Amino acid sequence: MKRPVIVLAMILAGGVVFSSAAFGLDPPAGQPQMPGAFMAPPPHGSRMEPPVNRGLKLICDNMQINVLAELTGLSQENIRQLLISSPPQAIIDAYGVSPEVFCSSMDKQTTKLISQAALAGVITRKQAEEIQKKLSMKPTGPYQR
């Protein structure tokens, strides 16, 4: 009867020793962390971007896949596979599509989605006009020269 109790006590003591080694007993050194301290500062020379809405990112990614498939003649599944290892710029360069054509096709798709959202009542006509105005005032990017 005494032997199982000793074995159980040794197992528990070993578990305590291993868990203390795993979680550490020393308090963290340095200043106490504040909320958000886990975020790394942005690299030098870059700007901090606001978080992107997941739904908007999904729409944008699908729009990009549709446009790339249309411009290259590949299937959407092939474009998805190519985007895993290459950025869109590399794909349009490899298939001889000019960046201006890609950018204008993306703008056409965006305009189409905005008008569909306004017709479906997801956004108002005034909101659609504001979005169109902001879209026309966008800064020049890597696809525009």
* Per-residue pLDDT tens digits of the chain, which is 145 residues long: 567 777 777 777 777 666 655 565 555 566 655 555 555 555 555 566 667 778 888 888 999 999 999 999 999 999 999 999 989 889 999 999 998 899 889 989 989 989 998 999 988 999 999 988 888 886 665 554 4
pLDDT of residue 49: 63
Q: Which amino acid would we find at residue 133?
A: K
pLDDT of residue 69: 94
Instruction: Indicate the SS3 state at residue 16.
Output: helix
Q: Where are the alpha helices (DSSP H) in the chain?
A: 2-23, 54-72, 76-85, 88-94, 99-120, 125-136
pLDDT of residue 145: 43
pLDDT of residue 1: 56
